[in-house]
Structure 1
Amino acid sequence: MGDPPQLRRARVNAFRRRYGASVLHLLLTLCSWALAGYAGVRLLNGDTLGVVIWFVGAAVLHDLVLLPVYGVLDRALQGVTRRRGGRRAGGGTAVNYVRVPVFLSGLLLLVWFPLVLRLVGHYTAATGLPADRFWEHWLLITAALFALSALCYAVRSWHRRPAVTGPPDSTTDARRKGQR
């Protein structure tokens, strides 16, 4: 009435070896692809040519312009931190304490750029909210991200600093001699 447990385990292990993950992983991956396909069909239902041009333009802009720019900036930042002795602080390279706030700030700018750069004139009419504060708010959030990152770097560096010991006490020396 069914397979013995050893045979089921052997089949599951064979599938895992071939696929590289569990059956549940495959099922979730297929579901996410189906959801992405559905969203793509719904998205392309309107202005198909405009959406395709936007995606191709974004890919070309990212791969041919932005990727080399932030690759060069990251290499320069790594060189600066190596020269200043910031190789390790808190278990990672010191440059990571700059990468994280830059990434988060850039992500916020990417999501909200029309409002941050004041490119949307109809925002106030549509929402009733003022659109002139986004630039200042983005700058404040960016400053807070960098301040938090600097604080984390300082705390991690302070915890990793070796303990400074003073000259030995005569009472400590006497106790050590008595223990021998």
Structure 2
Amino acid sequence: MRFLGRSRAGLRRLDGDSPLRLVLLLCSFALTGYAGVRLLSGDWFGIALWIIGAAVLHDLVLLPLYALADRAVAAVLPAPAPARGINHVRVPAFLSGLLMLVWFPLILGRQELRYEHATGLSADVFWPRWLLITAVLFGASALWLVVRVAILGWRRRPGARGA
């Protein structure tokens, strides 16, 4: 019994948490390794090239664009606006950009024939739906900002509860 207590303490020092967490972490690494071996068994060069290209594209092209867009939004918003106010632009822009990144061949109409042959459905709905989703995201974010500002103004009002 004394050995078990010492080994658990050693595992806890190694991982910083319970031994169960360490076992689950090792199982997740094993599953990831298995999936990687299965994925790379076919066209491993093409997949590796795609992953490296995506990393380079993100780090050298998209990240500077994110930073530039963030600074532009911060410059347009008034100076005393809290940093969380910028998030009402960041979050819908990020989600809209993520949808564009995932579905851009269909949104831009580059794979219409392939999609229509594979599914039997029309691909001309992706552009208007992406625009609608983007508008709803920005509209919901603007509405949430208005609610936040109204609640903040109500709390700062003299004689309001909680002030």
The answer to whether residue 95 in structure 2 is matched with residue 101 in structure 1 is no
- Aligned pair count? 156
For 2:31 and 2:96, the matched residues in 1 are separated by 29
Partner residue in 1 for 2:119: 127
Cα deviation digits, residues 34-70 of structure 1 (max 9, x gap): 2222221122122111111111111111111111111
Partner residue in 1 for 2:69: 73
Partner residue in 1 for 2:54: 58
For 1:26 and 1:155, the matched residues in 2 are separated by 43
RMSD, aligned α-carbons: 2.1
Q: Say which one has the larger Rg.
A: 1
Q: What does residue range 1-180 of structure 1 map to in structure 2 within 5 Å? A: 2-3=1-2, 8=5, 12-83=8-79, 85-87=80-82, 93-120=84-111, 121-161=113-153, 162-163=156-157
Alpha-carbon shift at residue 18 of structure 1 (Å): 3.6
> Which structure's relative contact order is higher, taking Cα pairs within 8 Å and 6+ residues apart?
1
Which AA in structure 2 matches 1:95? I
Identity of aligned residues (%): 53
TM-score (norm 2): 0.84
Alpha-carbon shift at residue 14 of structure 1 (Å): 4.7
Instruction: Identify if the C-alpha distance between structure 1 residues 23 and 60 changes in structure 2 by more than 3 Å, giving closer, same or farther.
Output: same
Question: Is the 1:118–1:131 contact (alpha carbons within 8 Å) kept by the matching residues of 2?
Answer: yes
| Ranges in structure 1 where 5+ consecutive residues have no aligned partner | 166-180
TM-score (norm 1): 0.77
